[in-house]
Structure formats: C-alpha cells, structure tokens
Amino acid sequence: MDTNLFTVIIGSGSYIPTKRILNDHFLNHAFYNKDGTILSKTNTDIVKQFGKITGIQERRYVSDDLVASDIAGVAAEDALKSSGINPESLDYIIVAHNFGDVKVENRRSDFVPALASRVKHNLGIINPLTVAYDLTWGCAGWLQGIIQADYFLKSGNAKRVMVIGTETLSRICDPHDRDSMIYADGAGAVILEAQHSSTPIGILSHVSKSYTDDLAYVLQMGCSYNPNFEGDAMFLKMNGRKLYENVLKTVPLTIKDCLDKASLSISDVNKLLIHQANEKMDEAIFRELFNLYGVEQVSSTDIMPMTISWLGNSSVATLPTLFDLMNKGKFVNQQFTKGTNIVFASVGAGVNMNAVTYRVPF
C-alpha cells in the first residue's frame, strides 16, 4: 500500500427538503405510551418538553412526489458540480440508507433495484465500471460508506468514490409516538479522491464498532402505539433511555480510539461533526469526551456545530448535510480552513457506531 496516498474530499452536495414542519404541527396529534395508553400530559407540555430536551424546533419533510433516491440524486448532482469531475470517472457510488424508497401512497420499503443503481441511472452514468451499491448500517451508514471508500482508495483499487446518505424518516415514523417528532428527511453526498501528499491529509484514521449484545434492538420496527391504528404498517421504534445511557459510555471512547490511531489528542480537534439525534445527548457526549482527557471542558459552540434545531434527525443525511453547509460557507462562523482537523462520529441502529479523523488539505 502506498503510504503517501490519502483519501480527500473534493466535492460535496446536499438536499434540504422544502417542507418546514414546526413543533406546533404536533399539537393535534394523539400520543400513546408503549402499552397503548394515551399520554397523561397535554400536547402543549409534551411538545414543550420535547423541544427543551432535543433542541429540535423544526424539521424538514420531503414533498409527496419525492422518495429517497430522488433526493439522493439531487445531492449527488450538487456534489458533482462542486467537484467539477466527469461523473463517468467515478469508480463507486455508495448510497447509505435504511428504508429504501418509501412512497407516500404506499409506505413500504422498496430496495429493488438498489438505490445506488437508481441514482446512477438518473445521473445518466453509463460506465459499467462505476459500481453502485447500497449500505444499510443504521444512522452511522454514511460514515461507514466513507470508511469503505477509504479502503478502496488507499488500496489503489479506486481513484474516485461518491458516498451518499439519504433518508425519508417522515414516511416510517408512528404519528402516535412522541419520538416521531425527532425524525426528518434529507440527503447529502461527498466525492472522495485518492491523492498523493508528502504530509498527512484527508482521512487520517477511522474506527467502527458494533454492540449487538443487549443493544441490538434498542432501535427496531414495530406496530403503532395506538391500539386502534388501522392497518399493519410497521414504524421505527426506539428505546431512547437505554440508547442514551449506553451512547454516553461508548461513543466518547470510540472517538478517543480514533484520535489515538491518528496520534492526535482532544486539543488537536478543531471541529467535531457528530450525528445529530438529540442535542442533550450530543452535549453530554462532548462533556464525556473531554473528561476522558482530563481536560477542562470548553464551549461546544465553536467546536461542535449543530443543525438539529432546524433540520431534526435525518439519519444518514445529518453528517453529509452538515459538512456540505460548512464546506460551502453556508453555516455562519463554522467554516473550514486549510489544516483543520475534523472528527466525524455517528451512532445508530445495530447498535453501530464509528468515527473518522480528517484533515482539510493544505
């Protein structure tokens, strides 16, 4: 393996859906407990408490005519434009998602053909050596696609790879479960290229972990909490408390493991881009990470940029969307400069988690 070959992001793109769904949208919902009893609190109190805990004030939903592969294609076109490359030069198109294309009139997962094949088709790429495949790995799927791309590129088996994260969680959330307020839609994409450099740039290290013992089913599919719900639809369900408790124990250690592999410390980190499912949880991860180093905690505002307040949790799309906004200077006071050390971190169903250290090329 060429030790002077590094994986560098050369373009990024995203699609932010046009439908803004404010928290007040849920005031008329009927929310139930897991046991089928209706929640005792008023919806006003439920929604207010939700906003305080999660930091979410609004989220984005796709319009009825769009599915996950459609918005993935828009993000891909944006990334291609950003990179300026010929689409036919891509060696791989990796699309991370978890539910496939879910139509508003038929809310079933559609995986055939693969979303990556649909994206490649819609982009008009005809090169048969542009291999397109899907990756389902929970909310950590997009970052795992980045890790796979790094293996391809550093081994010399590819020169350019596009990795896309796309999801329409609004189509698979139970309207009678208060957790439904967390979920959102979106898509993001990056294009990575193998580049030679005499100094370390791009991806410096990565770590992946799967906790499948007592955590395998903290996120799973289940029936509506409303016992009178008509139909046999399955919805995304989450044991939020158990997930929260274990994430605080495992994610900071995973980030530290990744930094150790790159011979970096917490003081070397300029930006922490973390999967955004819950603002309170992410802030707690940030505190625990600094505690591991015995370093007095600094303000998270500058180091850990957050979009969850207005974009919600769009699963695999949260990280690439955040990166694209910062990469293009669309996030106030949160731009990258040459030499910036970035840590990506994500966790999702499985329970799967990962982290990547990345240095912006000089």
Neighbouring C-beta atoms of residue 274, cutoff 10 Å: 27
Q: What are phi and psi of 35, to 5 degrees?
A: -85, 5
**Omega into 227 within 30° of 0, i.e. cis?**
no
Contact status, residue 45 vs residue 5, Cβ threshold 8 Å: no
Give one DSSP letter per residue of 228-247, joined into a string.
Answer: T--S---EEEE-HHHHHHHH
- Residue-level pLDDT at 299: 82
On the CB side of 341, CA atoms within 13 Å amount to 15
Query: What residues of the chain score a pLDDT lower than 70?
Result: 1-2
The DSSP bridge partners found for residue 345 are 274, 355
Domains and CATH numbers, the chain: 5-196 (3.40.47.10), 202-359 (3.40.47.10)
What six digits make up the tokens of 275? 């999967």
Distance between CA 323 and CA 127 in Å, rounded?
A: 28
Round to whole Å and give the CA distance between 315 and 143: 11
- Taking the C-alpha atoms of residue 260 and residue 265, their distance in angstroms, rounded to an integer, is 7
pLDDT of res. 1: 59
> What tens digit of pLDDT does each residue of 267-299 get?
999 999 999 989 999 999 999 999 999 988 788
What count of other Cβ atoms lies within 10 Å of the Cβ of residue 49? 12
Cβ-contact 308, 55 below 8 angstroms: yes
Burial environment of residue 249 by CB neighbours within 10 A (0 to 12, 13 to 18, 19 or more): exposed
pLDDT at 232: 87
Q: What residues contact residue 188 under an 8 Å CB cut-off, 6+ apart?
A: 12, 13, 14, 15, 75, 142, 164, 165, 166, 317, 318, 319, 320, 321, 322, 323, 324
Question: Cα–Cα distance between 54 and 312 in angstroms, integer?
Answer: 9
How crowded is residue 293: how many other Cβ atoms within 10 Å of its Cβ?
A: 13
At 362 the pLDDT is 84
Output the CA–CA distances (angstroms, integers) from residue 125 to 93, 121, 163, in the order listed: 11, 6, 15
What CA–CA distance (Å, rounded) separates 37 from 226?
8
SS3 state of residue 10:
strand
Torsion angle of the four alpha carbons 265, 270, 275, 280, in this order, in degrees rounded to the nearest 10: 90
Q: What is the DSSP letter of 137?
A: B
Residue type (1 letter), 272:
L
Note the pTM of the prediction, 2 decimals. Answer: 0.97
